[in-house]
Amino acid sequence: MKVGFIGVGAMGSAMASNLLKAGHEVTVWNRSPEATQPLASLGAKVARTPDRAVLGDAVFSVLSNDQAVRDVFITDGLLDAMDKGIVHVNHATISVALAKELAEEHARRELDYVAAPVFGRPDVAAAGKLQILAAGRAHVIDRVRPLLEAMGSRIWPLGDEPPRANVVKIAGNFMLGAAIESMAEASALARAHGVSAADFLEVMTSTLFATPAYQGYARLIAEQRYKPAGFALPLGYKDIGLALSAADATRVPLPLASLLHDTLLEALSAGDEDVDWSVMAQVAARRAHLDERKL
């Protein structure tokens, strides 16, 4: 199939590379052109302007936040440049409000649209093992299913309304943040009583919490390995903000999300943004003054 790809940062590049490996014709565009070079070396065409990447069977977009999505597709008019027969598959983690607006804007232009945020870090994306949420009309999802299958190990259909996939993604990231915060605080408690974070978390992730999410983040916390960031701190802060905004819109109390928001903000205030959001463990240790104690 002839595929366009908008946004080739760490996630987008890994995903687009799997489309190339599956034999699809891929044209990529990125605001920073240098990011397209690794894909060009794999056989991708590089578009100088985004409108040249929306002329095939499908276009995938992996942009960082609401503003980037709005700027490219609405403000800069990319939706108006899209072929009527193309399917836009949006992988961005965006607000529910923008998700609804995008669905309406596509419908108004009679463009096919699928919201398909993913669970998985860049290494998972590179391995083609993403968990892909997909919401949109069933026959439209079926048209791009072979492309999605080239990038993920499972596709989770969530109904005809695209915002459904976005709210599941936001809620899922909220749960991940809660898991990290609980490990951060519990590790600080264990350390204060002379048990290393590594020993404590090995027990927990081998018994009560023997799941990939806990195990992956536990390793980062135990090793204090927050660079390179698999999921950068500002993105985590942004996603918890999205959860709170979605909750406000429907009057759903999320007291734990408010706690996470403050913890992430405290981490950001330390001044180092190029770290993984599991750096919340440092916040918990700092609150307990662990580095000042003789344990």
For the chain, the structural domain boundaries read 2-160, 166-292
Q: What is the pLDDT of residue 84?
A: 87
pTM across the whole model = 0.94
Q: What's the rounded mean pLDDT across residues 242-267?
A: 97
Residue 178 exposed, middle or buried by CB count within 10 Å (0-12, 13-18, 19+): middle
Percent of the chain with pLDDT over 90: 96
Q: In which band, very low, low, confident or very high, does the pLDDT at 272 lie, cut at 50, 70 and 90?
A: confident
For the stretch 31-43, pLDDT in tens is 999 999 999 999 9
What is the DSSP-derived secondary structure letter of residue 292?
A: G
Q: Is the pLDDT of residue 142 over 70?
A: yes
The reported pLDDT for the residue numbered 293 is 62
Residue 100 CA from chain centroid, whole number: 18
Rounded Cα distance between 12 and 45, Å, is 15
Q: Which amino acid is at 60?
A: F
The domain defined by 166-292 carries CATH number 1.10.510.10: no
* Residue 227 a catalytic site member: no
CATH architecture of the domain formed by 2-160: 3-Layer(aba) Sandwich (3.40)
DSSP 135: B
**DSSP one-letter string for 242-288:** HHHHHHHHHT---HHHHHHHHHHHHHHHTT--SSBGGGHHHHHHHHT
Distance between CA atoms of residues 101 and 191, nearest Å: 47
pLDDT in tens, 212-251: 999 999 999 999 999 999 999 999 999 999 999 999 999 9
Cα separation of 168 and 273, whole Å?
26
Q: Residues 21, 84, 169, 238: which is the catalytic one?
A: 169
